């Protein structure tokens, strides 16, 4: 059934992507690729479903056979944000179903339509009624009762830090397990020996893809002092050529902000950065001449120090803070001096530097000389305030399983 669902997702990818794009304004090219990839994601977990196996355990108790088996936890509540509703649901749903769990999905109140369409595919794939359920509504009114419901065993949540903490508190009160994928303020660290052309492209995709509305956005650019001015000027030249506008057009590179509150939040952080004394070297304004939609220019601030709010708090928009550093030690110190630990990248031609820095940076995903590479086979999740647990890969299925130990005497 999981495999068949994968085929159905791929066959319906264009339609699902179009619904999602209309909901959150993401680029058509980006969201279509994401939805197609979801098909492969379900097939990967279809392949894992019959490879969940326990072990015979040697013990000091003679004449007793001791073995473990894994059992589904039960009902899983899946609560997701608006930036990538289908993908972020699949990251939880595919391993949960492969583990034998059932699910109740609550999508974001801003982007529920694609999930309701997606739900139609489960019957076609052969899942019995009730295995996958969708309930729409607001976080407090619908999300919280779901989290505290006695029949829900595990909560898989992706979203902001505040809601994540609230859900963790509620889950603790009811002794439920959680997987939390929260925010980020990821450092993109560029050393003077990097291939700067390659690094510029990586930094731009790191922060401006999805108009910065991405948990893994590389929103803090740490540049070695010796190349700071040159690199910033290369960056400004490159971003100035990006085409912003209608996300349905194939040549658009930067689209709008998804929601009115998010648009206002992004603009407020641009003002905060200016008030804090940072220098706006590109963008910094809303654009009302691009048709319907809430557009914010790709924005770059220099003169940022790591104590400023613009360097510490998640903006979730197209705003890059540039912070200079002296050497490896300085880069590691600034890179880690933040509450989050979702992702990071290091740009250098020196393997020694790459290994030194990646060893010390506290983040769940670290890229070297690339940004955003990801796969259904690799674990994703955060250190520190970026979350609890891991999604994707072989081990994600364990989040949805209980271990039972059996002792059998004749
Ligand atoms: P949000 O936290 O406001 O909402 C996320 C979901 O939680 C929504 O469905 C919402 O209705 C629900 N919710 C809110 N309060 C709740 C409560 N008290 N109880 C139960 N449910 C509740 O986040 P958002 O604004 O939709 O999304 C943006 C955030 O998501 C950013 O912080 C971003 O970093 C994060 N995000 C993280 C990842 C990741 O993998 N780490 C991926 C994408 C987005």
The tens digit of pLDDT for each residue in 172-209 reads: 999 999 999 999 999 999 999 999 999 999 999 999 99
DSSP of 313-381, one letter per residue?
S---SSEEEEEEE-SHHHHHHHHH-SSEESEEEEE-S-HHHHHHHHHH---SEEEES-S----TTS-B-
Q: Which CATH homologous superfamily contains domain 1-182+386-407?
A: Aldehyde Dehydrogenase; Chain A, domain 1 (3.40.605.10)
Return the ligand 1 atom nearest residue 109 CA.
11
Distance CA 190, CA 168 (A): 35
Cβ atoms of 183 and 157 closer than 8 Å? no
The residue annotated as part of the active site, out of 181, 297, 328, 399, is: 181
Per-residue confidence band for 133, with pLDDT thresholds at 50, 70 and 90:
very high
- Report domain 187-368's class: alpha beta
Average pLDDT for the chain: 97
Q: Show the tokens assigned to 321.
A: 């803070």
Q: What per-residue confidence (pLDDT) applies to 102?
A: 98
Provide the percentage of residues in the chain whose pLDDT is more than 90: 99
Cβ burial of 37 (10 Å; 0-12, 13-18, 19+) is middle
Average pLDDT over residues 290-301: 94
Distance CA 257, CA 294 (A): 6
| Secondary structure percentages of the chain, helix, strand, coil, to 5 | 40, 25, 35
- Identical fold between 1-182+386-407 and 187-368: no
Average pLDDT over residues 2-6: 98
Name the residue at shortest CA distance from atom 3 of ligand 1.
160
Cβ atoms of 313 and 305 closer than 8 Å? no
Average pLDDT over residues 237-254: 96
ipTM confidence score: 0.93
Q: In this model, does residue 304 exceed pLDDT 90?
A: yes
From the CA of 80, how far away is ligand 1's center (Å)? 6
Is the shortest distance between the CB of 83 and ligand 1 below 6 Å? yes
Cβ burial of 138 (10 Å; 0-12, 13-18, 19+) is exposed
Average pLDDT over residues 235-249: 96
> What is the CA angle 153-132-111, rounded to 5?
100
- CB burial string 293-310: b at 16+ within 10 A, e below: bbbbbbbbbbbbebebeb
Average pLDDT over residues 302-317: 97
Cβ atoms of 390 and 92 closer than 8 Å? no
Average pLDDT over residues 113-142: 97
Give 78-116 pLDDT, tens digit per residue: 999 999 999 999 999 999 999 999 999 999 999 999 999
Q: What per-residue confidence (pLDDT) applies to 403?
A: 98
> For the chain, what's the residue count?
410
Name the residue at shortest CA distance from atom 13 of ligand 1.
139
What pTM was computed for the model? 0.96
Distance CA 345, CA 363 (A): 10
Give 39-52 pLDDT, tens digit per residue: 999 999 999 999 99
Return the ligand 1 atom nearest residue 159 CA.
30
From the CA of 163, how far away is ligand 1's center (Å)? 6
Q: In this model, does residue 286 exceed pLDDT 90?
A: yes
Average pLDDT over residues 134-153: 98
Provide the percentage of residues in the chain whose pLDDT is more than 70: 100
Is the shortest distance between the CB of 316 and ligand 1 below 6 Å? yes
Terminus-to-terminus CA distance in the chain, angstroms? 39
From the CA of 107, how far away is ligand 1's center (Å)? 9
Q: What per-residue confidence (pLDDT) applies to 215?
A: 96
Residue spans of the domains in the chain: they are 1-182+386-407, 187-368
Q: What per-residue confidence (pLDDT) applies to 22?
A: 94
Give 342-401 pLDDT, tens digit per residue: 999 999 999 999 999 999 999 999 999 999 999 999 999 999 999 999 999 999 999 999
Catalytic, 181? Answer: yes
Q: In this model, does residue 292 exceed pLDDT 90?
A: no
Is the shortest distance between the CB of 186 and ligand 1 below 6 Å? no
Cα radius of gyration rounded to whole Å, the chain: 22
- Residue labelled with tokens 């829900």: 152
- Residue labelled with tokens 């959150």: 24
Q: In this model, does residue 291 exceed pLDDT 90?
A: no
Distance CA 222, CA 357 (A): 13
Ligand 1 pocket: which of 114, 160, 258, 372 to mutate (most atoms <8 Å of CB)?
A: 160
Cβ atoms of 55 and 67 closer than 8 Å? yes
Distance CA 318, CA 396 (A): 31
Name the residue at shortest CA distance from atom 32 of ligand 1.
160
């Amino acid at each position: 059934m999981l495999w068949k669902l994968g085929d159905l997702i791929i066959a319906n990818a264009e339609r699902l992507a179009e619904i999602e794009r209309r909901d959150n304004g993401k680029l058509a090219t980006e969201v279509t690729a994401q939805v197609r990839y979801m098909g492969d994601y379900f097939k990967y977990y279809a392949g894992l479903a019959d490879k969940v196996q326990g072990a015979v355990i040697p013990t000091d108790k003679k004449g007793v056979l001791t073995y473990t088996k894994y059992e589904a936890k039960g009902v899983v509540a899946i609560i997701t944000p608006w930036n990538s509703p289908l993908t972020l649901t699949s990251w939880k749903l595919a391993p949960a179903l492969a583990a034998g769990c059932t699910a109740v999905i609550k999508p974001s109140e801003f982007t529920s339509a694609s999930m309701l369409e997606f739900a139609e595919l489960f019957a076609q794939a052969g899942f019995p009624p009730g295995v996958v359920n969708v309930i729409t509504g607001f976080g407090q009114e619908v999300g919280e009762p779901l989290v505290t419901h006695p029949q829900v065993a595990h909560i898989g949540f992706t979203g902001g830090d505040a809601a994540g903490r609230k859900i963790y508190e509620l889950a603790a009160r009811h002794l439920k397990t959680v997987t939390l994928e929260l925010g980020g303020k990821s450092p993109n660290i560029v050393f003077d020996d990097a291939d700067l052309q390659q690094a510029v492209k990586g930094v731009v995709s790191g922060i401006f893809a999805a108009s910065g509305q991405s948990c893994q956005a590389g929103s803090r650019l740490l540049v070695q002092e010796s190349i700071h001015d040159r690199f910033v000027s290369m960056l400004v030249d490159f971003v100035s050529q990006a085409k912003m506008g209608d996300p349905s057009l194939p040549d658009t590179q930067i689209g709008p902000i998804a929601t009115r509150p998010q648009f206002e939040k992004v603009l407020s952080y641009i003002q905060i950065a200016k008030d804090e004394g940072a220098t706006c070297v590109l963008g910094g304004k809303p654009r009302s001449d691009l048709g319907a939609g809430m557009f914010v220019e790709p924005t770059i601030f220099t003169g940022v120090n790591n104590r400023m709010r613009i360097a510490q708090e998640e903006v979730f928009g197209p705003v890059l803070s540039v912070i200079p550093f002296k050497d490896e030690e300085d880069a590691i110190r600034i890179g880690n001096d933040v509450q989050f630990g979702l992702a990071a990248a290091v740009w250098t031609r020196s393997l020694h530097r790459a290994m030194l820095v990646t060893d010390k940076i506290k983040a769940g995903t670290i890229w070297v000389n690339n940004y955003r590479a990801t796969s259904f086979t690799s674990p994703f999740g955060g250190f520190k305030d970026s979350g609890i647990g891991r999604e994707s890969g072989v081990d994600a299925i364990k989040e949805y399983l209980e271990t039972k130990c059996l002792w059998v005497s004749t």
